[in-house]
Amino acid sequence: MFITFEGSDGSGKSTQARLLAHSLRRAGHDVVETREPGGSPRAEAIRALLLSGKAARLGALAETVLFNAARADHLRVTIRPSLARGAIVICDRFADSTRAYQGVLGKMDDDLLVAAEAAVVGDTAPDLTIILDLPAELTLERLGARRETVGEAADKFEEEALAHHDALRQAFLDIAALAPARCVVVSAQAPVEEVAKRIFALVMDRVSPEAGRSAPRPAKNTDGRPKRQR
Ligand code: TYD
Protein backbone atom coordinates (compact mmCIF):
# COMPACT_ATOMS: atom_id res chain seq x y z
CA MET A 1 0.00 0.00 0.00
CA PHE A 2 1.31 3.40 -1.02
CA ILE A 3 0.11 6.31 1.15
CA THR A 4 0.99 9.95 0.54
CA PHE A 5 0.47 13.01 2.73
CA GLU A 6 -0.19 16.38 1.15
CA GLY A 7 -1.15 19.84 2.34
CA SER A 8 0.20 23.29 3.05
CA ASP A 9 3.20 24.02 5.22
CA GLY A 10 2.12 24.11 8.85
CA SER A 11 -0.65 21.56 8.34
CA GLY A 12 1.28 19.07 10.44
CA LYS A 13 1.59 16.46 7.72
CA SER A 14 5.14 15.44 8.63
CA THR A 15 4.05 14.83 12.23
CA GLN A 16 1.00 12.89 11.06
CA ALA A 17 3.07 10.80 8.64
CA ARG A 18 5.40 9.87 11.51
CA LEU A 19 2.54 9.05 13.90
CA LEU A 20 0.82 6.89 11.28
CA ALA A 21 4.05 4.98 10.60
CA HIS A 22 4.44 4.39 14.35
CA SER A 23 0.86 3.11 14.75
CA LEU A 24 1.11 0.84 11.70
CA ARG A 25 4.38 -0.65 12.98
CA ARG A 26 2.74 -1.30 16.34
CA ALA A 27 -0.02 -3.10 14.44
CA GLY A 28 2.69 -5.35 12.97
CA HIS A 29 3.16 -3.83 9.52
CA ASP A 30 6.41 -3.34 7.65
CA VAL A 31 6.48 0.43 7.06
CA VAL A 32 8.84 2.58 5.00
CA GLU A 33 8.77 6.31 5.76
CA THR A 34 10.00 8.60 3.07
CA ARG A 35 9.60 12.15 1.75
CA GLU A 36 9.77 14.39 -1.28
CA PRO A 37 11.69 16.03 -2.65
CA GLY A 38 14.20 13.38 -1.59
CA GLY A 39 13.88 9.82 -0.38
CA SER A 40 16.94 8.40 -2.17
CA PRO A 41 20.57 9.64 -2.14
CA ARG A 42 20.36 11.24 -5.60
CA ALA A 43 16.92 12.71 -4.92
CA GLU A 44 18.21 14.16 -1.63
CA ALA A 45 21.02 15.87 -3.58
CA ILE A 46 18.39 17.40 -5.89
CA ARG A 47 16.38 18.40 -2.78
CA ALA A 48 19.38 20.34 -1.45
CA LEU A 49 19.60 22.22 -4.74
CA LEU A 50 15.85 22.93 -4.81
CA LEU A 51 15.60 24.10 -1.21
CA SER A 52 18.78 26.21 -1.42
CA GLY A 53 16.80 28.60 -3.64
CA LYS A 54 19.39 28.30 -6.42
CA ALA A 55 17.06 26.26 -8.62
CA ALA A 56 14.37 28.97 -8.42
CA ARG A 57 16.66 31.24 -10.45
CA LEU A 58 16.42 28.74 -13.30
CA GLY A 59 12.66 29.24 -13.46
CA ALA A 60 9.53 27.17 -12.89
CA LEU A 61 10.15 24.81 -15.81
CA ALA A 62 13.59 23.81 -14.55
CA GLU A 63 12.19 23.34 -11.04
CA THR A 64 9.44 21.12 -12.44
CA VAL A 65 12.03 19.04 -14.25
CA LEU A 66 14.12 18.75 -11.08
CA PHE A 67 11.19 17.68 -8.88
CA ASN A 68 10.33 15.04 -11.48
CA ALA A 69 13.93 13.87 -11.81
CA ALA A 70 14.14 13.46 -8.04
CA ARG A 71 10.80 11.61 -8.05
CA ALA A 72 11.93 9.19 -10.78
CA ASP A 73 14.99 8.18 -8.75
CA HIS A 74 13.00 8.01 -5.50
CA LEU A 75 10.48 5.67 -7.13
CA ARG A 76 13.18 3.47 -8.64
CA VAL A 77 15.44 3.23 -5.60
CA THR A 78 13.03 3.41 -2.64
CA ILE A 79 9.31 3.28 -3.37
CA ARG A 80 8.92 0.50 -5.94
CA PRO A 81 11.28 -1.99 -4.24
CA SER A 82 9.55 -1.38 -0.88
CA LEU A 83 6.09 -1.91 -2.35
CA ALA A 84 7.34 -5.02 -4.16
CA ARG A 85 8.42 -6.61 -0.88
CA GLY A 86 5.00 -5.87 0.62
CA ALA A 87 5.82 -2.87 2.80
CA ILE A 88 3.45 0.01 3.41
CA VAL A 89 5.14 3.12 2.01
CA ILE A 90 4.29 6.45 3.63
CA CYS A 91 5.53 9.46 1.70
CA ASP A 92 5.51 13.04 2.98
CA ARG A 93 4.52 14.92 -0.24
CA PHE A 94 4.44 13.39 -3.70
CA ALA A 95 3.16 14.21 -7.20
CA ASP A 96 0.17 16.27 -6.00
CA SER A 97 2.66 18.78 -4.58
CA THR A 98 4.00 19.32 -8.11
CA ARG A 99 0.45 19.90 -9.35
CA ALA A 100 -0.20 22.38 -6.56
CA TYR A 101 3.14 24.19 -6.27
CA GLN A 102 4.45 24.12 -9.84
CA GLY A 103 0.99 24.03 -11.43
CA VAL A 104 -0.93 26.58 -9.46
CA LEU A 105 1.79 28.71 -7.88
CA GLY A 106 4.40 28.25 -10.64
CA LYS A 107 1.75 28.49 -13.39
CA MET A 108 3.18 25.52 -15.28
CA ASP A 109 1.06 24.22 -18.09
CA ASP A 110 -1.26 21.43 -16.96
CA ASP A 111 -0.64 19.25 -20.04
CA LEU A 112 3.08 19.31 -19.34
CA LEU A 113 2.56 18.36 -15.68
CA VAL A 114 0.19 15.53 -16.60
CA ALA A 115 2.60 14.16 -19.23
CA ALA A 116 5.58 14.37 -16.84
CA GLU A 117 3.60 12.67 -14.08
CA ALA A 118 2.48 9.87 -16.41
CA ALA A 119 6.07 9.29 -17.56
CA VAL A 120 7.60 9.41 -14.08
CA VAL A 121 4.95 7.88 -11.82
CA GLY A 122 3.39 5.49 -14.33
CA ASP A 123 1.27 2.97 -12.51
CA THR A 124 2.84 3.65 -9.10
CA ALA A 125 0.12 6.12 -8.14
CA PRO A 126 -0.69 6.29 -4.42
CA ASP A 127 -3.48 4.03 -3.15
CA LEU A 128 -4.42 6.68 -0.61
CA THR A 129 -3.61 10.37 -0.36
CA ILE A 130 -4.34 12.17 2.87
CA ILE A 131 -4.76 15.88 2.31
CA LEU A 132 -4.39 17.81 5.53
CA ASP A 133 -6.52 20.88 5.20
CA LEU A 134 -6.12 24.14 7.06
CA PRO A 135 -7.59 27.60 6.36
CA ALA A 136 -4.90 30.02 5.18
CA GLU A 137 -5.29 32.22 8.28
CA LEU A 138 -4.51 29.29 10.54
CA THR A 139 -1.59 28.26 8.34
CA LEU A 140 -0.13 31.73 8.77
CA GLU A 141 -0.78 31.66 12.50
CA ARG A 142 1.01 28.35 12.85
CA LEU A 143 3.92 29.45 10.71
CA GLY A 144 4.04 32.71 12.65
CA ALA A 145 4.19 30.78 15.89
CA ARG A 146 7.02 28.73 14.47
CA ARG A 147 8.92 31.87 13.53
CA GLU A 148 8.49 33.36 16.98
CA THR A 149 9.95 30.29 18.59
CA VAL A 150 13.12 30.65 16.52
CA GLY A 151 13.07 34.43 16.99
CA GLU A 152 12.50 35.45 13.39
CA ALA A 153 10.87 38.76 12.49
CA ALA A 154 7.17 38.85 11.65
CA ASP A 155 6.30 38.57 7.96
CA LYS A 156 5.45 42.01 6.59
CA PHE A 157 3.97 40.61 3.44
CA GLU A 158 1.07 39.03 5.28
CA GLU A 159 -1.51 39.72 2.62
CA GLU A 160 0.59 38.09 -0.08
CA ALA A 161 1.30 35.19 2.21
CA LEU A 162 -2.41 34.75 2.86
CA ALA A 163 -3.18 34.67 -0.88
CA HIS A 164 -0.33 32.21 -1.40
CA HIS A 165 -1.58 29.79 1.25
CA ASP A 166 -5.15 30.15 0.11
CA ALA A 167 -4.22 29.30 -3.50
CA LEU A 168 -2.31 26.25 -2.29
CA ARG A 169 -5.14 25.10 -0.09
CA GLN A 170 -7.60 25.43 -2.96
CA ALA A 171 -5.24 23.57 -5.28
CA PHE A 172 -5.15 20.56 -2.93
CA LEU A 173 -8.94 20.67 -2.46
CA ASP A 174 -9.39 20.70 -6.24
CA ILE A 175 -7.04 17.71 -6.59
CA ALA A 176 -9.09 15.85 -3.96
CA ALA A 177 -12.35 16.65 -5.75
CA LEU A 178 -10.96 15.25 -9.01
CA ALA A 179 -9.74 12.01 -7.41
CA PRO A 180 -12.26 11.17 -4.67
CA ALA A 181 -11.42 7.44 -4.63
CA ARG A 182 -7.77 8.15 -3.84
CA CYS A 183 -7.88 11.33 -1.76
CA VAL A 184 -9.29 11.95 1.69
CA VAL A 185 -9.37 15.50 3.00
CA VAL A 186 -8.75 15.61 6.75
CA SER A 187 -9.15 18.81 8.72
CA ALA A 188 -5.90 19.68 10.46
CA GLN A 189 -7.64 21.94 12.98
CA ALA A 190 -8.26 19.29 15.64
CA PRO A 191 -5.57 18.39 18.20
CA VAL A 192 -2.70 16.30 16.80
CA GLU A 193 -3.79 13.10 18.57
CA GLU A 194 -7.34 13.37 17.28
CA VAL A 195 -6.20 13.90 13.69
CA ALA A 196 -3.83 10.94 14.08
CA LYS A 197 -6.66 8.68 15.31
CA ARG A 198 -8.87 9.65 12.40
CA ILE A 199 -6.08 8.96 9.89
CA PHE A 200 -5.18 5.62 11.48
CA ALA A 201 -8.84 4.52 11.34
CA LEU A 202 -9.24 5.36 7.69
CA VAL A 203 -5.96 3.67 6.79
CA MET A 204 -6.89 0.52 8.73
CA ASP A 205 -10.20 0.41 6.86
CA ARG A 206 -8.22 0.20 3.64
CA VAL A 207 -5.47 -2.09 4.86
CA SER A 208 -7.96 -4.70 6.12
CA PRO A 209 -11.48 -3.74 5.06
CA GLU A 210 -12.98 -6.96 6.45
CA ALA A 211 -11.91 -5.87 9.94
CA GLY A 212 -12.91 -2.24 9.47
CA ARG A 213 -16.08 -0.33 10.01
CA SER A 214 -16.64 1.63 6.83
CA ALA A 215 -16.28 -0.83 3.99
CA PRO A 216 -18.61 -3.76 4.71
CA ARG A 217 -18.49 -6.57 2.16
CA PRO A 218 -21.97 -7.59 0.96
CA ALA A 219 -23.20 -10.15 3.47
CA LYS A 220 -24.51 -13.40 2.00
CA ASN A 221 -27.80 -15.17 2.83
CA THR A 222 -27.53 -18.86 3.60
CA ASP A 223 -28.62 -19.55 0.01
CA GLY A 224 -25.65 -17.55 -1.22
CA ARG A 225 -27.60 -14.55 -2.53
CA PRO A 226 -26.30 -11.20 -1.37
CA LYS A 227 -28.25 -9.77 1.56
CA ARG A 228 -29.81 -6.39 0.98
CA GLN A 229 -27.69 -3.75 2.76
CA ARG A 230 -29.62 -1.46 5.08
P1 TYD B 1 9.95 20.89 3.06
O2 TYD B 1 10.96 21.56 3.90
O3 TYD B 1 9.90 19.41 3.06
O4 TYD B 1 8.53 21.53 3.36
P5 TYD B 1 7.24 20.93 4.01
O6 TYD B 1 7.55 20.71 5.45
O7 TYD B 1 6.21 21.98 3.78
O8 TYD B 1 6.91 19.65 3.27
O9 TYD B 1 10.17 21.43 1.59
C10 TYD B 1 9.51 20.98 0.52
C11 TYD B 1 9.11 22.15 -0.32
O12 TYD B 1 9.12 21.78 -1.68
C13 TYD B 1 7.72 22.64 0.02
O14 TYD B 1 7.68 24.04 0.05
C15 TYD B 1 6.89 22.16 -1.16
C16 TYD B 1 7.88 22.10 -2.28
N17 TYD B 1 7.57 21.10 -3.32
C18 TYD B 1 7.25 21.52 -4.60
O19 TYD B 1 7.24 22.73 -4.89
N20 TYD B 1 6.99 20.59 -5.57
C21 TYD B 1 7.02 19.25 -5.31
O22 TYD B 1 6.77 18.42 -6.22
C23 TYD B 1 7.34 18.81 -3.97
C24 TYD B 1 7.40 17.35 -3.65
C25 TYD B 1 7.61 19.78 -3.02
Identify the residues whose C-beta falls under 6 Å from ligand 1. Answer: 9, 14, 36-37, 51, 67, 93, 97-98, 101-102
171 Cβ contact partners less than 8 Å away, ≥ 6 residues apart:
99, 100, 103, 104, 105
Single out the residue of 25, 67, 8, 1 nearest to residue 185, CA to CA.
Answer: 8
Architecture, CATH, for domain 2-204: 3-Layer(aba) Sandwich (3.40)
Q: How far is the CA of 90 from the centre of ligand 1 (A)?
A: 16
Going residue by residue through the chain, which has 230 residues, state the pLDDT in tens, using 9 for 90 and above: 999 999 988 899 999 999 999 999 999 999 999 999 999 999 999 999 999 999 999 999 999 999 999 999 999 999 999 999 999 999 999 999 999 999 999 999 999 999 999 999 999 999 999 999 999 999 988 888 555 554 455 555 688 889 999 999 999 999 999 999 999 999 999 999 999 999 999 999 998 755 434 334 444 333 434 434 33
Kindly compute the dihedral angle of the four CA atoms of residues 189, 204, 172, 62, in this order, to the nearest 10 degrees: 120
Q: Which pLDDT score, from 0 to 100, does residue 36 have?
A: 98
Domain locations in the chain as residue ranges: 2-204
pLDDT of res. 144: 81
Tell me the CA–centroid distance for residue 101 and ligand 1, in Å: 8
The protein residue whose alpha carbon is closest to atom 23 in ligand 1 is 97
